[in-house]
A = this chain, B = another copy of it.
Amino acid sequence: MKPPPRLGPDATIGILGGGQLGRMLALAAAKLGLKCHIMSPDPASPAFDVVHRTTVADYTDTEALDRFANDVDVVTYEFENIPAETAVFLSARKAVLPNPEVLAITQDRLSEKDFITGLGIGVAPYANVETRADLRGAIEKIGRPSVIKTRRFGYDGKGQMMLRGDAPLSDADLNLIWEDLGGQPCVLEGFVTFRCEMSVVAARNAAGQIECFDVTENEHQNHILKVSRVPARISPEAHAEAIEIARKIADAFHYVGVFAVELFLVEDGGRERVLVNEIAPRVHNSGHWTQDGATVSQFEQHIRAIAGWPLGKPLRHGPTEMINLLGSEVEDYARYLAEPGASVHLYGKGAVREGRKMGHVNRVLPQKS
């Protein structure tokens, strides 16, 4: 594995993935004078529009990966579902940041939860469902309501199912659940009744500097993030606990780059507790507000971290709200353009599909005096 580099201002960053996150990473790199090369199997990748060097190839195409690695000074990614072999192949050639070990752990919900609990951080009760045979025992242990999730490749509510009710489940019922999730290893999680969903977006560089953005309160619709708000309406204690969790995770991973920890604020015997839902080893939708609401954005922090540059100390301009434009909601862009203080970000995606993330709006609200 290559050590993290310290890039000069003429360096080129390789980004795996050509969606809106890759696009916004490339824009942040450009602000800092750095070049980007985007690799994605999709020739219509929105990120291609903002860089001069692109590779259209499958992530398992070793010839393309080799050329890509030769053209760049460091490799990063916009999504955590990069095949493990791709990360390993590339990391023999150039530094891959965050490192492939982080990917391996966070790609598997079970190893992720084991890792988090190993740090003494709370998560919802969970049980491994390695095979169909484990299902009944897991349900007995965790109870219902609970959520069964595939261990790999789930996002935005895909690859998961709620288990409700308390009528006994027949073998046929269990078979149905198992088949519905594709007959693959799963994890069963106790359903958590939370006071709010929140996240911490944090950055760490190889020198060990850690900078966390303020805790963000998140509101989902159909498992897709709809609105983020800062400051989160939580107690100073819960805020401090959330930040402490992010710092612990950053250090334990020797993390280089930006990540998000999705959290639940729960009440446990009259006491507030912060539980980790999951870790996203990348820039995160709930950090988009930082583009307009803070003096340095999550995208720039990620680029600084993987470039081996000092991280920014994020100062917040004021209370900020981020609204995702999903599907045809993007057609409202002109209304938001005319709203004072609103900042519109569109991703240049051609096709509007229901629920597709087409853009977002950041509202920096006037400060109360």
| A residues adjacent to B (C-beta < 8 A) | 9-10, 23, 26-27, 30-36, 48-52, 54, 292, 295-296, 304, 309-310, 312-313, 315, 317, 330, 333-334, 337-338, 340-350, 359, 364
Contacts and interface: CB of A to CB of B under 8 A. Distances in A.
Contacts of A10: 348, 350
Contacts of A35: 49, 348
List the 9 closest A-B pairs by CB distance, nearest first: A33-B346, A313-B340, A33-B348, A310-B338, A30-B50, A310-B337, A35-B49, A317-B317, A295-B341
Contact of A9 (B30, B341, B346): B346
Given A9-B346, A27-B31, A33-B346, A309 B334 contact: yes
8 contacts: A27-B27, A33-B359, A35-B348, A49-B51, A50-B51, A296-B343, A310-B337, A317-B364
Given A9-B330, A33-B349, 19 more contacts: A9-B333, A10-B348, A10-B350, A23-B30, A26-B50, A27-B31, A31-B345, A32-B344, A32-B345, A35-B348, A49-B51, A50-B51, A292-B295, A309-B334, A310-B334, A310-B338, A313-B340, A313-B341, A315-B340
A32 B333 CA distance: 9
Q: Say how many copies of this protein the assembly contains.
A: 2
A308 to B, nearest CB: 10
A348 to B, nearest CB: 4
A46 to B, nearest CB: 8
A350 to B, nearest CB: 6
Nearest to A346: B33
A295 B343 contact: yes
Contacts of A32: 344-346
A67 B60 CA distance: 37
A121 to B, nearest CB: 29
B52 A49 contact: yes
A82 B346 CA distance: 30
A307 to B, nearest CB: 10
